[in-house]
Amino acid sequence: LEYDKCERNCKIQKKNRNKCQYCRFRKCLAVGMSHNAIRFGRIPQSEKQRLKAEQDVSGKEQHESKQLDTKSLTRQMHEAYLKHFHMNKAKARVFLTGKTSTPPFVIHDMDTLQHAERKLLTQLLGNVASGDVSTLQEREVEARIFLFCQYASVATVTEVTEFAKAVPGFATLDLNDQVTLLKYGVYEALFALLASCMNKDGLLMAHGGGFITREFLKSLRKPFSDMMEPKFQFAMRFNALELDDSDLALFVAAIICCGDRPGLSNVSQIEGIQESIIHALRLHLLSNHP
């Protein structure tokens, strides 16, 4: 709104309020009215209702558009999760609840461990040279189990990396930022993923071919036994949330795209990506776990 400037500082009263529009406008602002309130106060009631209706429709359309974007992100992350992680939670639950025709081989003592090593060597170690296998079998049992876990972790790190590339906006980040995010986020993501393969009794391994009991892991000498027990404790608390793969997909994506990692160059861009993911996760949890 623009009026001819007046320097007289006119006194505005009810009877003469329309004599000087400029001074009236300044008085309205002085008492705290907004520009929009002043403008709407000067139009007919029917026009105000029409403008308000248009604003309501516009706001509703924007809200619906954001909901569609959020659902699209949720679906995209879920599909990428199922594509890149070989042992997702749905698959793991089939083995852990005994709903498969080929149950995992249970490792509960030294004899069953040795049998499993012969039976599941390919699944446990992947493409390892025969010389390395011979050397490995000469090591102590704790060292062998630790190396099995290492091989499994390397495979999962590769899966996390491929999954990260599917997060909208991740591939457009500075390459050094991508490396930093994976460097700091990958093991946090691993703990969340590992929980899917655990229950109170043990850990699923070798792509579902084996199941090593918690009690057997506890019986191993320190420090290996001390390393595994906290992971079981975390898994029990985490699994109590009853998240499914669609929830975990967004959760892992949010872990990866964390803007407070040291050494990042474009924090605001990364935080923007994470905020979108967290918003989608919040809405999805409300819908998926009412």
Confidence of residue 214 (pLDDT cuts 50, 70, 90): very high
Please give the C-alpha separations between residue 108 and each of 92, 196, 213, 236, in angstroms, as whole numbers.
19, 20, 5, 20
Domains and CATH numbers, the chain: 72-288 (1.10.565.10)
When mean pLDDT is compared across 4-8, 59-63, 113-117, 170-174, the lowest value belongs to 59-63
| CA separation for the pair 6, 14 (Å, rounded) | 19
Q: Over the chain, what is the mean pLDDT?
A: 84
pLDDT tens string 220-232: 888 888 888 999 9
In 10 A of CB 84, how many CB atoms? 18
pLDDT given for residue 37 in this prediction: 63
With a cut of 80, say whether residue 63 has pLDDT above it.
Answer: no
DSSP helix/strand/coil, 106? strand
Neighbours of 143 (CB within 10 A): 12
Quote the CA–CA distance of 121 and 117 in Å, as a whole number: 5
The position carrying tokens 């989608």 is: 280
pLDDT at 275: 96
Average pLDDT on 5-13 reads 79
Structure confidence by residue, pLDDT tens digits, 23-51: 887 888 787 776 666 555 556 667 667 76
Region at 5 (left for phi over 0; alpha for psi -120 to 50; beta for the rest): beta
Which token pair is 282? 């919040």
Q: 0.85 exceeded by the pTM?
A: no
Overall average pLDDT of the 101-114 stretch: 91
Question: What's CA 132's distance to the chain center, in Å?
Answer: 37
Q: Which residue has the higher pLDDT, 22 or 99?
A: 99
Give me the helix-helix angle, 141-165 and 245-256, nearest 10°. 90
Q: pLDDT higher for 14 or 264?
A: 264
pLDDT tens-digit map of 252-284: 999 999 999 999 999 999 999 999 999 999 999
Q: What is the pLDDT of residue 121?
A: 65
Q: Tens digit of pLDDT for each residue in 119-164?
A: 776 555 554 444 454 555 556 777 777 777 777 888 899 999 999 9
More confident residue, 116 or 66: 116
Between residues 67 and 171, the one the model is more confident about: 171
